[in-house]
Amino acid sequence: MLISIRDLCKIYRMGEVEVRALDGVDLEVEAGEYLAIMGPSGSGKSTLMNLIGCLDTPTSGSYLLNDQPVSGLEDFELARIRNREVGFVFQTFNLLTRATALANVELPLIYARVPAARRHQLARDALEEVGLGDRIKHKPNELSGGQRQRVALARALVNRPSILLADEPTGNLDSRTSGEMMVLFNELNAAGNTIVLVTHEEDIAAHARRVVRLLDGRVVSDRSVASKEPQT
């Protein structure tokens, strides 16, 4: 089992008020799955995603990633998981504005202590994979929204992570570019990548093979969708 979550809780304290962002979530994800997490805003889907990505630590409950318990790990161990096991794609891309596409994609490799020459090669390969082989020297402000998200995708994939975590990856893209992006996701899943997608758009979630719905920090439905061929 790639992800094994049991009774996960995340409680924020806002002054006197306790906010139960996650209230006892159970979730299991196997390698190669294509999962969409859905729910209205405030349902806890982003919190769940941050916990899966080890950006955050739960208040209680257990989380096993690749059968390894994640709770109670030190900063440098969590950093290592974020670096090697998880690839993030954000709604707002979160690229370094002053750095070129190549340098952005190299970032995780720098923190993985990959030597410079090998780093360039891997980053270039990753950019070619997402169809940006001819844009490696461009800075984010010289790229379109779709191209920026592809750079972010290349950055997420460059360390060959166990899970690709995408938080509203098409939220800032027009419908045509969104469609192209989803094709890319489908292809990546077909190639064996595990994808966890957070979205509130039904048509985006429709690409996934399994949809988990959250409401008020709880899983309210978890159903598999019939396998379908990647759109071309």
From the number of C-beta atoms within 10 Å of its C-beta (0-12, 13-18, 19+), residue 67 rates as exposed
For residue 100, what are its two tokens? 């070129």
Cβ at position 225, least distance to other proteins in Å: 29
Binding segment (CB under 8 A) for other proteins, from list 83-91, 124-132, 140-148, 190-198 = 83-91
Which residues, including other chains, have CB under 8 Å from residue 93's CB and lie 6 or more apart? Answer: 140, 145, 148, 149, 151, 152, 172
For residue 149, state whether it binds other proteins (rule: CB under 8 A): no
Binding segment (CB under 8 A) for other proteins, from list 12-20, 26-34, 73-81, 216-224 = 73-81
* H-helix or E-strand spanning residue 21: strand 17-29
Terminal C-alpha separation, the chain: 30
d(CA 4, CA 71): 12
Site for other proteins in 95-114 (CB under 8 A): 95-96, 98-99, 107-108, 110-113
Cβ at position 164, least distance to other proteins in Å: 13
Beta carbon nearer to other proteins, 6 or 98: 98
Binding other proteins (rule: CB under 8 A), the pick from 25, 38, 83, 157 is 83
Count helices and strands in the chain by DSSP H and E runs: 7, 10
For residue 53, state whether it binds other proteins (rule: CB under 8 A): yes
**SS3 state of residue 134:** coil
For residue 1, state whether it binds other proteins (rule: CB under 8 A): no
d(CA 59, CA 22): 9
**SS3 state of residue 42:** coil
Binding segment (CB under 8 A) for other proteins, from list 19-27, 92-100, 120-128, 138-146 = 92-100
Binding segment (CB under 8 A) for other proteins, from list 6-14, 53-61, 124-132, 168-176 = 53-61
Phi, psi for 12 (deg, rounded to 5)? -100, 145
Site residues (CB under 8 A) for other proteins?
50, 53, 55-56, 75-76, 79-80, 82-84, 88, 90, 94-96, 98-99, 107-108, 110-113, 155, 159
